């Protein structure tokens, strides 16, 4: 049983190394003012769908994004991307007047970023900016959405 497990793990690593140059799906962590999980799936060569589950203000946001990817600076495996989407979520009030009340949020999002796919390992690393406009709950523009993203790519 142990030999079978080790063989399967090695086979998965080999397949991942072979496909690390161009990936179909990546799953990972997002660290920034809003931290959480990310999953990105390419629907064709230059277009991807990304889902984010982030936490902030004793609450959460679920975000869906459509992204266009292009090669950056003529460097292999380095891509820049932009796109947009929407979010919904909720948070606990963050001042004395609203503390203890749970508020819903709905809004629209933008995204602008750059990422690098390592050849030697099935890892993708990037930085992005995810500005948001909350249109329901608390109307405001949020520009602080910078993050470092690390994904395992398939």
Tokens of 30: 């997002």
Q: Is 76 exposed, middle or buried (CB count within 10 Å of its CB: 0-12, 13-18, 19+)?
A: exposed
At 74-84, the pLDDT tens digits run 999 999 999 99
139 token code pair:
């109307």
Task: Considering only residues 97 and 54, tell me which one the structure prediction assigns the higher pLDDT.
Answer: 54
Q: Are 95 and 70 in contact (CB under 8 A)?
A: no
Structure confidence by residue, pLDDT tens digits, 19-48:
333 689 999 999 998 899 999 999 999 999
Give the percent of the chain with pLDDT over 70: 80
- The domain ranges of the chain are 2-153
Strand 123-129 versus strand 146-153 pairing type: antiparallel
DSSP H stretches of helix in the chain: 2-18
Q: Tell me which fold the domain 2-153 belongs to.
A: Porin (2.40.160)
| Mean pLDDT value of segment 135-141 | 87
């Amino acid at each position: 049983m142990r030999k079978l497990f080790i063989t399967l793990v090695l086979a998965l690593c080999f397949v991942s190394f072979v496909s690390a140059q161009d990936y179909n799906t990546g799953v990972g962590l997002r660290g920034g003012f809003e931290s959480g999980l990310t999953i990105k799936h390419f629907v064709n060569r230059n277009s991807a769908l990304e889902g984010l589950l982030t936490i902030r203000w004793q609450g959460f946001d679920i975000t869906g994004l459509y992204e266009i990817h292009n090669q950056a600076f003529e460097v292999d495996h380095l891509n820049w991307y932009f796109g947009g989407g929407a979010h919904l979520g909720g948070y606990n009030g963050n001042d004395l007047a609203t503390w203890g009340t749970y508020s819903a949020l709905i809004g629209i999002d933008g995204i602008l970023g750059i990422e690098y796919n390592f050849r030697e390992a099935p890892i993708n690393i990037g930085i992005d900016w995810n500005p948001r406009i909350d249109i329901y709950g608390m109307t405001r523009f949020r520009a602080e959405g910078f993050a470092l993203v690390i994904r395992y790519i398939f």
